[in-house]
Amino acid sequence: MTVTVRLFAVARQRAGAPEVLVELPDPATVADLKRAVAGQHPALAPLLPGMMVAVSAEYAGEDRRIGPDDEVALIPPVSGG
């Protein structure tokens, strides 16, 4: 299945786009998503260990399943001052 992954902050800058398409097996988990993003979009790979994943507007753990209609986002750590 093809999933659209929304990107924010430094992830968006590294990818050069607000979102990327990722090919995943069906069914897939967040862990599968991270592996696929790292393989299909190498510029994002170094960021993945520190990023949160949201599936359908909820933060998701590694074992959360992803369906073809889910909205998926990669959210980098936020810092500010």
Query: CATH number for the domain including 7?
Result: 3.10.20.30
Domain limits for position 11: 2-75
Q: Is 81 part of any domain? A: no
Q: Is 80 part of any domain? A: no
Q: Is 66 part of any domain? A: yes
Q: What span, in angstroms and rounded, lies between the C-alpha atoms of 22 and 24?
A: 6
Q: What is the pLDDT of residue 81?
A: 54
Q: Is 34 part of any domain? A: yes
Q: Is 48 part of any domain? A: yes
Q: Per residue of the chain (81 residues), give pLDDT as tens.
A: 999 999 999 999 999 999 999 999 999 999 999 999 999 999 999 999 999 999 999 999 999 999 989 999 999 887 655
Q: What is the pLDDT of residue 80?
A: 57
Number of domains within the chain: 1
Q: Is 47 part of any domain? A: yes
Q: What is the pLDDT of residue 41?
A: 94
Q: What is the pLDDT of residue 40?
A: 95
Instruction: List Cβ neighbours of 27 (8 Å cut-off, separation of 6 or more).
Output: 65, 66, 67
